[in-house]
Amino acid sequence: MGRLENRKVAIIGVSEGLGYAVAYFALREGASVCINARSESKLRKIKDTLSKYGKIEYVVGDVSSLITAKEVINKCASSLNGIDDLVITVGGYIEDTIEDLKGLEEMIKNHIKIPLYVINSSLKYLNEGSSIVLVSSISGVDKASPNQLSYAIGKTGLAKAVEILASELIRKGIRINGIAPTFIDGNFEPERNWKVYRKLGDPKAPPEDFARVIVWLLTDESEWVNGVVIPVDGGARLRK
């Protein structure tokens, strides 16, 4: 019996790396899964590959406004007949400095506004026992870098949102946590032995190492973990 048997999990902003891996591990734990991104060809390919592991649906759509986020979440809920748990892996990375502010609009949109739009849209489906997982970054919770102004501010804001939202949602029995990865290395492939690609403390690791922590945060095993952002870096931050 899987740890997510009968759970309906929406994964918003799915790449061929982390989001794909989260979908795979959630299916292997018995969940039904709805994946979202803007690229239909990618979602179709992921669905075709993962269908043998369980029920997987996809919804194509851009979640960058409250209106379109609601459309995507409502379609996911119809496809699964509800949503119990929510994972938001929308990404994007732009380097900038105070001199150029190249990433300011997009990084605040992707890392702050979108997660809030998606959570707002999902609340009517979530219930007591639901779990939400967001993805910050080690750049948002550890040392500052000189060329990551907007990205790091976005990821720091996202980490703070985890705490504030946890305090807000606690009365509904809904948990929210985050992970703070280092560098997620390459695309996901089902059933491979990913452990050969890294050693403890490496600054990069394959998507599996991050996805498994996200899926654990959805399970009952983590039910007493709430309102935290867990660095998932194999200890790399300690070696600087």
Ligand X SMILES: NC(=O)c1ccc[n+]([C@@H]2O[C@H](COP(=O)([O-])OP(=O)(O)OC[C@H]3O[C@@H](n4cnc5c(N)ncnc54)[C@H](OP(=O)(O)O)[C@@H]3O)[C@@H](O)[C@H]2O)c1
Binding-site ranges for ligand X (CB under 6 A): 13-15, 17-19, 36-39, 42, 62-64, 89-92, 110, 114, 135, 137, 181, 183-184
Residue 73's nearest CA partner among 7, 31, 33, 119 is 119
Query: Is the CB of 67 or the CB of 170 nearer to ligand X?
Result: 67
Tell the smallest beta-carbon distance from residue 158 to ligand X (Å): 8
Tell the smallest beta-carbon distance from residue 72 to ligand X (Å): 7
> Could you tell me the two tokens for 221?
């095993």
Tell the smallest beta-carbon distance from residue 123 to ligand X (Å): 19
| Residue 65 CB coordination number (10 Å) | 13
List, edge to edge, every strand of the sheet that includes 229-232.
Answer: 56-60, 32-37, 8-12, 85-88, 131-135, 175-181, 229-232
Ordered DSSP codes for 128-170? TT-EEEEE--HHHHS---TTBHHHHHHHHHHHHHHHHHHHHHG
Query: Is the CB of 127 or the CB of 183 nearer to ligand X?
Result: 183
Query: Is the CB of 137 or the CB of 226 nearer to ligand X?
Result: 137
Whole-angstrom Cα distance, residue 181 to residue 165?
20
Tell the smallest beta-carbon distance from residue 117 to ligand X (Å): 9
Query: Is the CB of 65 or the CB of 97 nearer to ligand X?
Result: 65
Is residue 33 within 8 Å of residue 54, measured between CB atoms?
yes
Residue of this chain nearest to ligand X (CB atom): 91
Tell the smallest beta-carbon distance from residue 145 to ligand X (Å): 12
Query: Is the CB of 48 or the CB of 220 nearer to ligand X?
Result: 48
Q: How many helices (H) and strands (E) would you count in the chain?
A: 8, 9
Strand ranges inside the chain, DSSP E: 8-12, 32-37, 56-60, 85-88, 131-135, 175-181, 183-184, 204-205, 229-232
> Which secondary structure element, helix H or strand E, spans residue 121, and what is its range?
helix 114-122
Query: Is the CB of 62 or the CB of 220 nearer to ligand X?
Result: 62
Query: Is the CB of 49 or the CB of 64 nearer to ligand X?
Result: 64
Tell the smallest beta-carbon distance from residue 173 to ligand X (Å): 26
Tell the smallest beta-carbon distance from residue 151 to ligand X (Å): 8
